[in-house]
Structure 1
């Protein structure tokens, strides 16, 4: 099949170039079967049906919708792609929310699937192909209850083959370039080849990065999305977008939402509380949960998922909120600090307005602020004037408070605890330059190093630190209610169960997870798209 290349085709154009366009649009689902009968004509006419189909193609691929074969459209059509149709003429079900994934309607009736290789490509060793295919399946099993097991003989749910040209399924490959592979939906729509994946062996397949051909893992993971029941997505950054733009060995949020809409979560013990894309942060205090929007809106959860949120304020200057001890504070980008007194919008008491203030933290009933010159202040109860200075070290980069205790960490990794005397009453607890972050819960203190190592303070300054984990993927730690959690750069969430290094329980593994917060016995996560979830099992 030739890729259309005649820039300028439009309504009432005729001839062979129109026929090529017609075939292309028909192959990928933009013309229904009745219209495609016109392909038999010697000379095709660029009529209303073709114009409508071309507009659908342009819309699907996020192109200007001109209805003409313009330069941008031809460029997109030339990009190598999956041979699976983009539109299935009414058989697919599109998600109506913020995601753009599409499910076909069929799914496997079991979670433990098998696959078998019919043959292998000569571009790679059998071991490389097996490794690549296992990795591709692993992207989907990471976020669902699905498992994939290779069998070497007998029946298998998914057959994998490398073929060329006409290979017996009624959908011949076109040689090197354009169509790379295709796969078939789960039973019942696939018939005897349900779930099977075919790769064009006229292509050059690669496992190295950067690839010396087409990346097998990326293409295979895309095809297996079809094998599991996903159609193509209109999200250009998703794995299920029709075109191949280079290696993509990770699922997009849209891919995850799609596959989990069919098979559920790998870790099902999370309840969605909200899905507002404006949400940028969450804080928790006991059983209270709050979210901050990118326009400064502050909302409190009242108990009903998705709809049960009460707005407390909407000041665009708000850059941070803090909740602890039954108190809620907001911090503005000009240094102003406010405390919520109980009445939405109007019930905020201003506590300070110093533009040098860069952060606030709270522990129990105590509130502290940090200035850009390292000065630390504690609020004593009188707005504006009731602040006592506790330290003034320019090396201070962060402060944390919990259980009546206050700590600071310096740019060089030194960690100090406040002992009660302003300015001079600070005890040094550690001085490791690898220390990146500190976290406190009641009387417990933890530090995270730049290499992912997590340490707990055991009571002896400088030497009294016990290592709890050493995973370089760790990007943040959270402590609350006697529990310690860590989140990895790939969104995986772990809880410490009590045994150093090995005693960590995985609670979730969604790459969309941006942050976690904990309070009392509650744990929450917020995704990059603003969705908020609560862990439902006892912690």
Structure 2
């Protein structure tokens, strides 16, 4: 009797599964863990030098990860004291992101801290790559020289002049819906630079590789994916570009997901040698919000031209 009841129930359940909507355009894994961790910054609202607040060590860890903080005494790196060193680092962070450099954890600072970003740091070996350093380029429509805000990696690594055609491959863990957005991003860079790109099969050797990973996968690019970063890439000739598979990704703009092509444009910029930009409209600006769609900016193109004409 039990088996006779089970069969129609199983059949109905199977129909329900087949008719359920399929979210093929985005990862189904939620990023609640990331959100809750980043929300801890909200508890620091109003904090300033002299405070001792439970979550200050998380702010120190964030600023250290992206190059703003380097304590000689590592004990102070993990405590909850808001000291002179932290205040100086926070002011630099605020300046980089067009926030009044007060050294106070205000609403504007919290808003930027909880915005997901690329995993490549803003400051490397003490050099702030998000501040202009006298680079100038001539406007095509006038004789006015304007300061550019693009940057390069430490040591200005780039592909050799004989290497203008780059091949790329998708690792087997890349979902099928991500392939066209990434290919489109390569085409946009190709139309704006002297580079050409061609996709090869997963089992072939290539100059560049694209993959989806989570946690500490030991890729050697940068820190493991955590609540702060959504993607990262290596400088030339590293050639590795990885999305965080724990985040939600979309082909079209979606209010609860990151735009695959926009993030690909950013990370390909790193693969070619660009660092981060101070210009909010530039694709090389470090942060991305859900649903945000961006394209190549004049600052991005000026950076590539400057890097490869140097």
TM-score range for the pair, normalised by the shorter chain length: 0.7 to 0.9
Is the contact between residue 145 and residue 263 of structure 1 (CA under 8 Å) also seen in structure 2? no
Q: Give the alignment partner of residue 67 of structure 2, picking from 24, 29, 34.
A: 29
Cα drift, residue 31 of structure 1: 1.3
Cα drift, residue 160 of structure 1: 1.0
Counterpart residue number, 2:267: 223
The yes-or-no answer on 1:180 pairing with 2:230 is yes
- The size of the alignment, in residue pairs, is 251
The yes-or-no answer on 1:262 pairing with 2:307 is yes
Counterpart residue number, 2:110: 74
The yes-or-no answer on 1:197 pairing with 2:235 is no
Counterpart residue number, 1:134: 183
Cα drift, residue 36 of structure 1: 7.6
Distance in 1 (CA, whole Å) between partners of 2:73 and 2:197 is 38
The yes-or-no answer on 1:106 pairing with 2:106 is no
SS in 1 for 2:192: coil
Distance in 2 (CA, whole Å) between partners of 1:197 and 1:144 is 19
Distance in 2 (CA, whole Å) between partners of 1:158 and 1:20 is 34
Cα drift, residue 249 of structure 1: 4.2
Counterpart residue number, 2:252: 208
Cα drift, residue 14 of structure 1: 2.2
Counterpart residue number, 2:82: 46
SS in 1 for 2:169: strand
Residue deviations 1:5-54, cap 9 Å, x none? 2111111222432111100100111113x44834664x232111111110
Cα drift, residue 82 of structure 1: 1.0
Between structure 1 and structure 2, the one with the greater Rg is: 1
Counterpart residue number, 1:237: 281
Is the contact between residue 282 and residue 295 of structure 2 (CA under 8 Å) also seen in structure 1? no
For residues 235 and 36 of structure 1, do their structure 2 counterparts lie closer, same or farther at Cα, with a shift above 3 Å needed? farther
Residue deviations 1:328-362, cap 9 Å, x none? xxxxxxxxxxxxxxxxxxxxxxxxxxxxxxxxxxx
Q: Give the alignment partner of residue 212 of structure 2, picking from 126, 137, 162.
A: 162
Q: Which runs of 5+ in 2 are unaligned?
A: 1-33, 137-146
Cα drift, residue 79 of structure 1: 1.1
For residues 257 and 36 of structure 1, do their structure 2 counterparts lie closer, same or farther at Cα, with a shift above 3 Å needed? farther
CA-based RMSD of the aligned residues comes to 2.3
Distance in 2 (CA, whole Å) between partners of 1:61 and 1:157 is 33
Higher relative contact order (CA 8 A, sep 6+): 2
For residues 23 and 210 of structure 1, do their structure 2 counterparts lie closer, same or farther at Cα, with a shift above 3 Å needed? closer
For residues 212 and 31 of structure 1, do their structure 2 counterparts lie closer, same or farther at Cα, with a shift above 3 Å needed? closer
Residue deviations 1:259-313, cap 9 Å, x none? 111235xxxxxxxxxxxxxxxxxxxxxxxxxxxxxxxxxxxxxxxxxxxxxxxxx
The within-5 A match list for 1:94-493 is: 94-96=132-134, 97=136, 98-104=147-153, 105-109=156-160, 110-122=163-175, 126=176, 128-152=177-201, 153-169=203-219, 171-174=223-226, 178-187=228-237, 194-210=238-254, 213-245=257-289, 246-263=291-308
Distance in 1 (CA, whole Å) between partners of 2:58 and 2:200 is 42
SS in 2 for 1:72: helix
Residue deviations 1:462-508, cap 9 Å, x none? xxxxxxxxxxxxxxxxxxxxxxxxxxxxxxxxxxxxxxxxxxxxxxx
Counterpart residue number, 1:318: none
TM-score by length of 1: 0.44
Cα drift, residue 142 of structure 1: 1.4
Is the contact between residue 205 and residue 215 of structure 1 (CA under 8 Å) also seen in structure 2? yes
Distance in 1 (CA, whole Å) between partners of 2:294 and 2:90 is 31
Cα drift, residue 151 of structure 1: 1.5
Distance in 1 (CA, whole Å) between partners of 2:239 and 2:80 is 35
Distance in 2 (CA, whole Å) between partners of 1:92 and 1:70 is 22
Counterpart residue number, 2:54: 16
For residues 133 and 229 of structure 1, do their structure 2 counterparts lie closer, same or farther at Cα, with a shift above 3 Å needed? same
Q: When you count strand as a share of all residues, which structure comes out higher?
A: 1
Q: Give the alignment partner of residue 92 of structure 2, picking from 28, 39, 56.
A: 56
Is the contact between residue 164 and residue 200 of structure 1 (CA under 8 Å) also seen in structure 2? yes
Is the contact between residue 239 and residue 248 of structure 1 (CA under 8 Å) also seen in structure 2? no
For residues 251 and 36 of structure 1, do their structure 2 counterparts lie closer, same or farther at Cα, with a shift above 3 Å needed? farther
Distance in 1 (CA, whole Å) between partners of 2:294 and 2:110 is 27
For residues 39 and 24 of structure 1, do their structure 2 counterparts lie closer, same or farther at Cα, with a shift above 3 Å needed? farther
Cα drift, residue 236 of structure 1: 1.0
Distance in 1 (CA, whole Å) between partners of 2:149 and 2:295 is 17
Counterpart residue number, 2:13: none
SS in 1 for 2:166: strand
Cα drift, residue 70 of structure 1: 1.0
Q: When you count helix as a share of all residues, which structure comes out higher?
A: 2
TM-score by length of 2: 0.74
Is the contact between residue 22 and residue 36 of structure 1 (CA under 8 Å) also seen in structure 2? no
Cα drift, residue 91 of structure 1: 5.4
Distance in 2 (CA, whole Å) between partners of 1:249 and 1:56 is 25
